[in-house]
Structure 1
């Protein structure tokens, strides 16, 4: 999956352990959920970490929701659920893998 490189130029907050925002392991880095966005540190600045393409998690049968046991994170106009190092979002009857 390709990730767009969109710098967040006015992001003055430094994310890290204890910063108050959910940390989301994502491949070789950590994203932080902040104000409905996912941020990652990159080359001395913070990027918006968004997938560039739709990627369905075809074999994901677990139904996320309130009290499902996975942390929920507001992400734009929907909620992602943190599950096994992935962010899952409901989409057209299946779960997308962010």
Structure 2
């Protein structure tokens, strides 16, 4: 799974620890949930942080939901759950690893 490099044009807001947006650990960087999508800093600009491809999180029996204890993040037309440094999203009866 790779991350697509799609620059978010005209994004003047500087994300950081006190910016008010949810910080989501993602591999070697931090994404910030903003208006239903995720941003990451990259080479002096902000990218849309979207994965390329479908990766099922095998052996994930935990059911995420409103009271599961994991932070929820609005992501486009669905909700991701931050779990162990990555995001899980419900997909066709299993959980995807974003």
- Asked if Structure 1 and Structure 2 have the same fold, meaning a TM-score greater than 0.5 normalized by the shorter chain, the answer is yes
Q: TM-score, normalised by structure 2?
A: 0.98
Matches within 5 A, 1:45-84: 45-84=45-84
Structure 2: segments with no counterpart, 5+ residues: none
State the match for 2:22 in structure 1.
Answer: 22
Q: For structure 1, which runs of at least 5 residues remain unmatched after alignment? A: none
3-state SS of paired residue (1:65): coil
- For residues 27 and 86 of structure 2, the distance between their equivalents in structure 1, rounded to whole angstroms, comes to 9
CA-atom RMSD in angstroms: 0.5
1:28-55 Cα offsets, whole Å, 9 max, x none, are 1000000001100000000000011000
TM-score under structure 1 length normalisation: 0.98
